[in-house]
């Protein structure tokens, strides 16, 4: 009985850690590198008929060149709202439109801007690590509660904690790898 509950606690922790890693990955995708990437803007929220709507639900986003993003809205009346959302974002991009589509030319990143972006990558990776460790702490507490309620033995808890630590280490290492890859992308000229 106690093994099933311990396995359930571990399984739940693993799912939550995977979600934290997914969140980190999407956060990092939104950080600019020297190359254009649709993920830079596709999560931007646009005020569309009074509703906050993700840009990727209002338009087709493409990258025809290494440093250009083209946004083709399905409803041309949304162009001013999309431009406003891009200008308000923390991306520091300047959109231009021709009445049918929006073009964003990405300026070359300066060395200082690259360093700032690397700091942002480090910050996001650390937030991801903290989220993973918080999941570990919750699972730890759940295991101890099982012990207090006599639903698990001390040995079960010790074995569970060791497995939990291995899973945590694995997810933290994956978060670090994502951060290193993104940092390399940002620093590539």
- What pLDDT, in 10s, does the model give residues 34-86? 778 888 887 788 988 888 888 888 899 999 988 899 999 999 999 999 999 98
Query: Once rounded to an integer, what is the mean pLDDT over residues 138-155?
Result: 91
Higher pLDDT, 169 or 117: 169
pLDDT of residue 189: 63
d(CA 174, CA 181): 11
Q: Which domains does the chain have, with CATH numbers?
A: 2-29+110-187 (1.10.132.20), 38-105 (3.30.1360.40)
pLDDT of residue 88: 87
pLDDT tops 80 at residue 30: no
pLDDT of residue 2: 61
What percent of the chain shows pLDDT beyond 90? 52
- Average pLDDT over the chain reads 89
- Of 165, 162, 149, 167, the closest CA to residue 5 belongs to 149
pLDDT of residue 174: 97
- Nearest 5°: CA angle at 187, between 105 and 26? 70
User: Do 109 and 93 meet the contact criterion of CB atoms below 8 Å apart?
Assistant: no
pLDDT tops 50 at residue 1: no
Q: Return the bridge partners of 53, or none.
A: 46
pLDDT of residue 92: 77
Structure tokens at 57: 């639900």
Query: Once rounded to an integer, what is the mean pLDDT over residues 120-141?
Result: 95
Residues 6 or more apart in contact with residue 49 via CB below 8 angstroms:
none
Helix axis angle, 154-187 relative to 111-148, nearest 10°?
170
């Amino acid at each position: 009985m106690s093994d099933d509950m311990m396995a359930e606690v571990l399984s739940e922790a693993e799912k939550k850690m995977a979600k934290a890693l997914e969140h980190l990955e999407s956060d990092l995708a939104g950080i600019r590198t020297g190359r254009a990437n649709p993920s830079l803007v596709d999560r931007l929220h646009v005020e569309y008929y009074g509703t906050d709507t993700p840009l990727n639900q209002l338009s087709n986003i493409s990258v025809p060149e290494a440093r250009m993003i083209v946004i083709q809205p399905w409803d041309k009346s949304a162009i001013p709202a999309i431009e406003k959302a891009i200008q308000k974002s923390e991306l520091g991009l300047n959109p231009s439109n021709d009445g049918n589509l929006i073009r964003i030319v990405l300026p070359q990143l300066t060395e200082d801007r690259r360093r700032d972006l690397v700091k942002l990558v480090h910050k996001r990776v650390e937030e991801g690590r903290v989220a993973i460790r918080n999941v570990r702490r919750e699972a730890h507490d759940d295991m101890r509660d099982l012990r207090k309620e006599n639903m698990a033995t001390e040995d079960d808890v010790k074995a569970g904690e060791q497995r939990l630590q291995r899973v945590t280490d694995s997810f933290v290492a994956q978060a670090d790898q994502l951060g290193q890859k993104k940092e390399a992308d940002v620093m590539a000229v």
